[in-house]
Structures are given as C-alpha cells and as structure tokens.
Structure 1
Amino acid sequence: MTRLLCLVLLLASCLPAIAETRYSGEQTLWQDTVWSGDILIDGILTVAPGVRLEIRPGTTVRFTFFDSNGDGIGEHEIFIQGRLLALGTAEQPILFTSAETAPRPGAWGAINMMASEDDNLLRHCVVEYAYRGFHAHFGKGRIEDSLFRRNLRAFQFQDSTVRVSRCRVLDNFNGLQFRDATVVLEQCRITGSQWAIRGIYSDLTLTGCLIENNRINAVSLRESTLVAEANRIIGNRRGIFLQRGKGTLRGNRIVGNAEHGTFFEDSEVILRDNRITANGRAGIRWLDSQGVIAGNDLSGNGEYALMNDGSGDLQVGSNWWGSVDEKRIDQLIRDRRDRPETGLVRYAVPLSGKPSAGPTATPLLPE
C-alpha cells in the first residue's frame, strides 16, 4: 500500500498542476472576466474588443504545448484585442509559464496584443518559456516591476507604444526587438541575450538601465531616434550601434565591451559627458556621421579612443583621452594619418583629467 501511494504521488508530481479554470481549443471572452488561482490555456484564447481581462495577484497561467508546423515553437497563447490588466504584487506575482514538466524557451506563444489600443498593464509578473513573452502589434502597453526570463524573445513590438519600467530581462535568446514603435525603457536590466535591444524605424528612450553581458549588441538601431541617459552598458560584444539615425547620449557608462563601445554610421549624434572606457577595440567608431563629441572620458580603450572611418573631417570638442600629450592623443585616434581614404580628426584642448560624473538614475531593482 505504501509503495502504491508513493507511485501515485510520483506520477502526480510529473503532471501539470490541476487548473481551477481551463480553456481548450479556440475560445473567446465576450464579457469582462477576472482570473485567480490556476488557469490552463490549452488552445488560443481571444479577449474580444471592448472586453477587459483582469488577473489577480498570485495567479498562475499555464499554456500547453502545441506545434502544428513542426518548427518546435508552441502556438497556444492569449490574444488580446480588448484590455489586459495583470496586476500582481511583489509578494504575490502573476506567473505566465509552460504547462510542460520540462519546458524550454518557445514552449508557448505569447501574451499577444493585437489592435489593442487600451492601456494594457502588466505589473509584478513573471513571464517565462514563451516564443514572445509580450508581443504588441498596433497596441499600447505598460510593463512594470516584472521578470522576463528564458523566452525566445522577451518583447516584440510593431506599430505600438510601450513603456517598460523596472523590469529584469534575463537569459532570453533575444531581449527586445521592435519596428515602427515608440519605446521607453527605464531602470531595467537586460542580460544574457544574443541581442539585447534591436529596433528599426522607431523612437527609443533609454534611462537608468543596465545592459550587460549580451553576446552581440547591447543596443542596435537603424533609421531610429535614440535618447540615452544615465545607463550602464557593460561587457557586451558591442555597446551602442546607430545607423542612419539620430542620437543623444549623456551621462552613460559604456565600459568593457569586447569590440566598439559606440558605433555611429551616417547618423546625427550628440555625445556628451559619457564614460566610454576599457572597450576592446575602440571607444567610438565614427562613419560618415556628424554631431558633437565633448566632455567624455575616452581613456583606456584597447586600440583607439576614436576611429574616424568616414571620408569627412571630424571636429571634436574637449574630452579626456587619458593624457594631455598631443603625440599620445594622436596615437589614440585613427584617421587620415593612418588611412588616406578617411577624414582627419581635429580636437579641442583636451580636458586635464577625468570629467565629473554625469547624471545618475535611481538604482536598479535588486536581482
């Protein structure tokens, strides 16, 4: 009898938790709904236009795995056309996860906002093992104080307006990717991704974030606008890449990235009061761009403080190069004197020492 009881308990532990509410197949919520307890999504659940889904603290939402085309990606998800309010607390977060006993990233689809113009809000949520943790297409959303981990893509936006505040984005294949979007990231930590942030045709405001130890770029934007202040961009392959865009960077620490700390191509850039040091190849790579470079700490980078790879000359303001000796500063700059096809770099009287720290932001949430 004792052995039989142990066997039953063992088998029960291998099964998904028994759900208090279950949705199977393709279903639609046609009226305002409140969830609590354990919810199982065994299909695609749509929240109709004009309908509100509210999820209470401590709720667990699980998704079964279904792969119709054999690509290894789960397809069961929540499809929001109305409004989602997932309001957990620090003590009782809301969990969105896989129903599998041994899940992997991509085991379910997404929290999917489609043509949802209401102000969708996730607060104190944990989102894990999804294909796209939070996906917005023609939508609006705020995500606060939440954890996104082990998803294929933590966030994906298109034609949307999204604000992400005080969130941790940890060990996803990619962190955030977006196009034609307006995105605000504040006091977030993004680590352990291939690409931390990728965007095109978008406006990104980045304030007080820590973006560290991502395997490719920390921030990669094309034909976009970037405003970055008081961020720490540390230990990635590359720091910030901006192509055919506009950027204002002030008071950031861009330190210890394996290749370039910053790379600007065919862009308009204001680069003031940043610490851009200890990057493997160069602090700044400048290609056919224009703008202001002044008040920065450019000391201690691996090969060059500044590389001018464009055909035009570059006038640089007063910065700290790690030295005030002109011969030494010349060695830290790659320009026409090294490569005849590129422009010259002319610099103002260098700063006599490291500039004072730029603006600081509220400390990040503890891990």
Structure 2
Amino acid sequence: MNFICIFSNLNVCLIRIPFVKNIRFSPAFTARCLLLGCLILTQAGCQQLFHAQDAPLKGQTVTVSMTVPQPPPPAAKPLQQGSEQPVPQKNPQSPLDSRLLPTETSLHTDPLAIRNQVDVPATSQSKPARAVIDKAGTVLVNKTVAEDMVLRGTVLIKGALVVAPQATLRIDPGTRILFASAPGSAELSRLVVQGRIVANGTLQQPILFAPALNQPLAGDWGGVVLLNSEKKNSFDHCRIEGAQTGIEAHFSRFSGRGVMVTKSRTGIALYDSEAGLQGCSISRCDRGGRLADSELDLRDSTLQENRQGIDAQRSSFTLSSVKVLNNSQEGVAADQCRFRLTSSQFVENRSGLRLTGGDGQLFLCRFSQNRESGAELVGVRVRISNSSFIQNSGVGILLENARGSVVGSVFSDNRAGNLQNRGSEPFAALLNWWGSADEKQILAGIHDPERKNDTALILFAPFLKERPVTAP
C-alpha cells in the first residue's frame, strides 16, 4: 500500500510540473531516478514505522548510540559453603595456611608416612631413637664365605655371614664388626661358622662384635654361632656386646682368651660342645653361661652382675680361680653334672652355689656374703676341702639328701647357721673350724633334726681348735 501511494503522488507531481513533459528520459537518467525512489521509499517506511509503533516518542529527541563491547571477564567461582575465606595465594615469604598442611587422616593413608612414624617419638618426653651406624669400610649382605677370608677395619654385616665348612675366617686385631638386620627382614643378624674362625685380637687392639646401633641392648643382634665345627676355633681378646647369645656352639669346640661378653641375654652357650676359656669376663647378662651335655674349662675369669651366673645340665665343668660376684640369683646352678671347683670365690650372690645331683669336689673355694645360702647341695655326692663358708645371710651349707664330706674348712658368722641338714643321708663334717672351740657353741650352729633321736646324720667331732691356714 505504501508503494502505491508513493507512485500516485509522484505522477501527480509530474503532471503539475510543466517542464517535465518536454524531458526525454535516457537510461542513465532513469537509473538515477529509480535509485532516488528507493531512498525515498526507505525513508518513508522508517517514518511510518516510528509513527505507527513509537507514537509516544513524537516531539522528543531520540539519540541512538552503538558501542562495541569488550570480551567479558571470566566468571568468579563462588566460595564453598562453610568456608570462612578463600585460600590465599602461595607466598614463599609467608607461612602456609594450616588447611594446606597434611592432616592426621592423610598421614594414616600413606604407607610411607606410617613406616616413618615408627621412629618418631610419640611425645616430646619420649627417649630419642638410637642412632644407626651405617658407615663401614666393608659391607656384607647375606654373604656365604666359600674361601678363606680376612676381615679388618670396620665391617658392617647385614643379615647373616656364613663361613662354609671348607673356609677359614680370620679377623685382624682392632677390627670392628657391626651387625644389622638385612633389608626387609626382621631376623637378627648372625655370624655362622661351619668352617673355622680365628679372631686374633690383642690386649691393646681387641676385636669388637656389636650391633650397628649406639648404646647396645641385649638382643640387638643374634651372636656368633658355631655349627658342627670341631676345628681349632679361637677367640682372643674379643669384646661382644648386645647379642642374643654372645658365642653359641652346637656340636663344636673352641678356645678363648680375654673374651668379654656384656649386655647380652646369654653370654656363652654350649650344646653338645667343648670350650676352654681363660681370662674372660661375662657381665650384665640374663645368664652368663648355659651348658647342656657339654664340657667347660673356665679359668681366671669373672662372672659378675648377671641374673644367673652359670646354668648347667648334664654337663662337666671346671672352674679354677673364677670370681662369681653379685649375681641376682645363683652364682652357679648345676643339675646332674660332674664338677670341679678350685680356688674360686662366690660372693654377694643370692645363693653362691646350687648343686642338684651329680658328683664332684670343691677345693680352696670361698663362699661369703651371699644373701641366702653359701652352697645348697641337693642329692649330690660331693667332697669339700679347705674352703670357707662365712658371713652368709642364710646357712653356710644347706644339705638335702647329699652324701659326702667337708674337711679342713672354715664355718663362721653365718646368720642362719653354719650347717643344716634337711635329708636322711649321713654327711661327714670332721676336722673343720667352726669359729669357736666350744662344743656347745658349735652345736648351736649345726641344725640336724635327727640328733634329737640320737641318730645324728652330721658328724662334726673331732673339730679343729683354730682356723686352718690353708682355708681362704
């Protein structure tokens, strides 16, 4: 409709203009007229649009502007519910937010963290963990020695070092051999000798066997084990610390001079084995010596401050010039053994000596200041001569079905009596010094229940009038 109106108005105008009739329309002029007409049509349509739809805007100035927008910034993510503030950006100069640190739950879910927590003290008051010694000139891990070998310097053994039956292991003076469990194993490290071991330490340069830890404790490593080795094994001036068993022999034999075993569960253990030791010291062990069906010759040595000095069963042992001092239980406890004790001292133990069964002799021995009896003899056959039983808190000798004799010895100042009989076997206690020449005073220190029935089992007369010079 708009186009029809426009053309009608155009024709009217042309008729009313006189000079238009005489004009000839060329093609170029015609094109220009058409273009002008299109412009007029466009303007007329826009005016009609504004007039029809925007009638309220009549008489008002309308300004239309166009602005090209910039790309919008990324939308910020909203904070999580319950968060007090956003996590601060990382700043190397400021401390980390506590929420960025590992929590207790995350530590427990990390196997590495759990393993590391074993060595961390639970509280600040806990004792610090013992340092591990891992520096050594030679490191051997679960090694078997098939040929002769010499160890010197500082040697670290992880796991077991096994000496094959055909090989000999020699250890030079001053060598330090440290033991640690093998990686990934909880078994104690040991030196196992099937062949031969020659440890040639000296008084100035002893050989050390110890765990790879400072401040060693009993049971930190296994010990030296002789297994079916009947060759000439020797330990000269060796110090053994923190072992489960210092030297343990099974069907083997060895000798030792100047061996020191300390802070171990068992100092020396013999099982069906033989050992000859001289000038040795065993201290601060749960048990100084353990014998089972074995033979021990111990001379010029000391068993001191152990829970028990020697525990022997079905064995044969000789103690010569041995000091058994300050052990919390028996200095020596033997069951069904053959024994010979010479020039030895049993002082400040709970009980100096307890013999059950077996037979043997005591010569020039001293039993004094023990917290209970000097010697307990139960079912044993024994010969005692030139020995001393003095100042014990219990009785000098406690007899229970023991057979034998004591002669040329000294009994005095034992708090619970000098001699006590609890059995039914006779025992000869003739020619001894009882601390007095008065017979009644002597009888007061001898406890023999059968004497009341005129069937005394302990014979003490004749007795010595003075202390014998030969008794210690």
Fold match by TM threshold 0.5: yes
Asked whether the 8 Å contact 2:410–2:468 carries over to 1, the reply is yes
The Cα RMSD (Å) is 2.0
The one of 116, 133, 152 aligned to 1:16? 133
Q: Which moved more, 1:324-333 or 1:343-352?
A: 343-352
Give CA-to-partner distance per residue, 1:318-338, whole Å, 9 cap, x none.
111111211111110111258
Q: 1:315 offset after TM fit, Å?
A: 3.0
Q: Does 1:263 align with 2:356?
A: no
Asked whether the 8 Å contact 1:312–1:343 carries over to 2, the reply is no
What does residue 177 of structure 2 align with? 61
Within-5 A mapping of 1:66-145: 75-145=188-258
Q: Secondary structure at the match of 1:327?
A: helix
Within-5 A mapping of 1:1-367: 14-24=131-141, 26-65=142-181, 75-336=188-449, 344-358=457-471
Asked whether the 8 Å contact 2:242–2:264 carries over to 1, the reply is yes
Change beyond 3 A, Cα 1:304–1:255: same
Asked whether the 8 Å contact 2:288–2:303 carries over to 1, the reply is yes
CA distance in 1, matches of 2:214, 2:318: 39
CA distance in 2, matches of 1:239, 1:67: 45
Give CA-to-partner distance per residue, 1:84-124, whole Å, 9 cap, x none.
00111111110000102343110000100010110110001
Q: 1:346 offset after TM fit, Å?
A: 2.1
Q: Secondary structure at the match of 1:321?
A: coil
Give CA-to-partner distance per residue, 1:286-323, whole Å, 9 cap, x none.
11111111111011111110011112333321111111
More strand by share: 1
CA distance in 2, matches of 1:123, 1:318: 44
- Aligned residue type for 2:191: I
CA distance in 2, matches of 1:126, 1:192: 17
Gaps of 5+ in 2: 1-129
Q: 1:66 offset after TM fit, Å?
A: 6.4
Q: How many positions carry a matched residue from both structures?
A: 342
Q: Secondary structure at the match of 2:217?
A: coil
Q: 1:284 offset after TM fit, Å?
A: 0.5
Q: 1:165 offset after TM fit, Å?
A: 0.5
CA distance in 2, matches of 1:121, 1:314: 43
What does residue 364 of structure 1 align with? none
Asked whether the 8 Å contact 2:210–2:243 carries over to 1, the reply is yes
Asked whether the 8 Å contact 2:396–2:411 carries over to 1, the reply is yes
| Structure with greater contact order relative to length (CA < 8 Å, sep ≥ 6) | 1
- Aligned residue type for 1:27: K
Give CA-to-partner distance per residue, 1:114-141, whole Å, 9 cap, x none.
1011011000111000000010010001
Gaps of 5+ in 1: 1-12, 360-367
Q: Which moved more, 1:96-105 or 1:223-232?
A: 96-105
Q: 1:348 offset after TM fit, Å?
A: 2.0
Q: Secondary structure at the match of 1:260?
A: coil
CA distance in 2, matches of 1:344, 1:246: 20
Identity %: 29
Asked whether the 8 Å contact 2:409–2:471 carries over to 1, the reply is no
Q: 1:224 offset after TM fit, Å?
A: 0.3
Asked whether the 8 Å contact 1:84–1:120 carries over to 2, the reply is yes
CA distance in 2, matches of 1:30, 1:291: 53
Asked whether the 8 Å contact 2:360–2:382 carries over to 1, the reply is yes
CA distance in 2, matches of 1:80, 1:116: 7
- Greater C-alpha Rg: 2
Change beyond 3 A, Cα 1:201–1:326: same
Q: Secondary structure at the match of 1:50?
A: coil
Asked whether the 8 Å contact 2:405–2:427 carries over to 1, the reply is no
Asked whether the 8 Å contact 2:156–2:178 carries over to 1, the reply is yes
Q: Secondary structure at the match of 1:328?
A: helix
Asked whether the 8 Å contact 1:65–1:99 carries over to 2, the reply is no
CA distance in 1, matches of 2:352, 2:360: 14
Q: Secondary structure at the match of 1:130?
A: coil
What does residue 117 of structure 2 align with? none
CA distance in 2, matches of 1:34, 1:57: 11
- TM-score, structure 1 normalization: 0.89
CA distance in 2, matches of 1:68, 1:334: 62
Q: 1:281 offset after TM fit, Å?
A: 0.9
Change beyond 3 A, Cα 1:240–1:14: closer
